[in-house]
Amino acid sequence: MGLVDKTILTGVKPTGAPHIGNYIGAIRPALQLAATHERSYLFIADYHALNAVHDPEALRRDSYQVAACWLALGLDLNKTVLYRQSEIPEIFELTQLLCAVTPKGLMDRAHSYKAAMDKNREEGRDDPDHGVNMGLYTYPLLMAADILVAQTDIVPVGKDQVQHLEFTRDMAAYFNNAFLPVFKLPEYQLEKAAGDLLPGVDGRKMSKSYNNHIPVFMDSAARRKLVMKIVTDSKLPAEPKNADGSVIFRLYTHFAGNNEVQAMRDAFEKGGMGYGDAKQKLFEALELTFEKPTQIYNSYMTDTKKLDELLAAGADKARKIARETLSTAREAAGLKRLR
């Protein structure tokens, strides 16, 4: 099958290891897009993280985690360019060029900035900008530069990022109209609908903030223990059960094949399958999916020198297009091309 002749780009903030909901909802779809399109870029948004993380050791470690995570889950370096945002200086210069054509009001309207102000008001502070640094305020400018510098066609995003993509298109158009049509206007591709969210072990939406999540990378004993903690009702094995109401079953549908899923549904609905058995089946399906990736992840995390090399090689590749785009933008604005 031929590849779609488009450029995919995704940025990932380094904020700790992913859970299986992140995998199904965000990571796997992005990997699929990368595999089916001609060009793809995946980068660690470390400068975006720096606005909130002022712990160098944590930033370093979490950045390695992102790289190790995507590599372990199947990112193909022959196909996808993987790099740290902070290793592409062209992005930051482009941010400055975008500053020149972007009205301040656009930043004032950004959801993330408005949310910070709302929080200050709720907490009864006099200063609505309390705790807001310029990095948070100008977050959308840097994100637009990330995307535009690579002449991106499609950005896979969660709902919370849609406004950033709309702003990116606005900024590209401001620049193109003020000078020359240098930038492609990127589209966003929305990730799974909210209805498909994976439940956590307590039955609520799986989320790090509820601490009900099953991490992607963990050893088998810990994974087994977590699966055994999943909430159930007190029906006996022989009793018929509502499959779709069971957290075990709902998770199982994402990790087992169609026949296995159907078999568990039948066994639940007719009666005869106990929750213990079902948990064991879910555990086995998770092992099959994540045992190998966990080994690969661990081996990268103990060889961060290797990760540094891979990321530096990625940065070299990404800088080619970044330089070209920046040079063209500089020239369009009346500055010298890069030498």
Interacting residues with ligand TRP (CB under 6 A): 9-11, 13, 45, 48, 143, 146-147, 155, 161, 164
Handedness of CA 154, 160, 161, 163 (dihedral sign): positive
- Please tell me the distance from the alpha carbon of residue 78 to that of residue 38, in angstroms, as a whole number: 11
CB of 183 to ligand TRP, least distance (A): 14
Selected from 104, 193, 209, 339, the binder of ligand ADP by CB under 6 A is 209
Region of 15-23, 74-82, 170-178, 215-223 interacting with ligand ADP (CB under 6 A): 15-23
State which amino acid sits at residue 271: G
Selected from 8, 10, 17, 22, the binder of ligand ADP by CB under 6 A is 22
Pairing of strands 154-157, 187-190: parallel
- Contact partner, 146, from ligand ADP, ligand TRP, none, Cβ < 5-8 Å per class: ligand TRP
Does 191 participate in binding ligand ADP (rule CB under 6 A)? yes
Pairing of strands 37-44, 154-157: unpaired
Q: What angle do CA 174, 179, 180 make, to 5 degrees?
A: 100
Count residues contacting ligand ADP (CB under 6 A)? 15
Does 286 participate in binding ligand ADP (rule CB under 6 A)? no
Region of 19-27, 91-99, 116-124, 326-334 interacting with ligand ADP (CB under 6 A): 19-27
| Phi, psi (deg, nearest 5) at residue 10 | -135, 135
Selected from 11, 21, 140, 314, the binder of ligand ADP by CB under 6 A is 21
Region of 20-28, 30-38, 64-72, 256-264 interacting with ligand ADP (CB under 6 A): 20-28
- Please tell me the distance from the alpha carbon of residue 121 to that of residue 321, in angstroms, as a whole number: 43
Does 6 participate in binding ligand ADP (rule CB under 6 A)? no
Residue whose token pair is 């399906």: 285
Cβ proximity to ligand TRP: between 50 and 332 the closer is 50
CB of 13 to ligand ADP, least distance (A): 8
Cβ proximity to ligand TRP: between 243 and 326 the closer is 326
Query: Are the C-beta atoms of residues 247 and 231 closer than 8 Å to each other?
Result: yes
The mark string for 141-170 relative to ligand ADP (x by CB under 6 A, - otherwise) is -----------------x------------
CB of 286 to ligand ADP, least distance (A): 15
Nearest to 44 by CA among 64, 29, 58, 26: 64
Q: Which residues contact ligand ADP by CB under 6 A?
A: 19, 21-22, 24-26, 158, 191, 197-198, 205-209
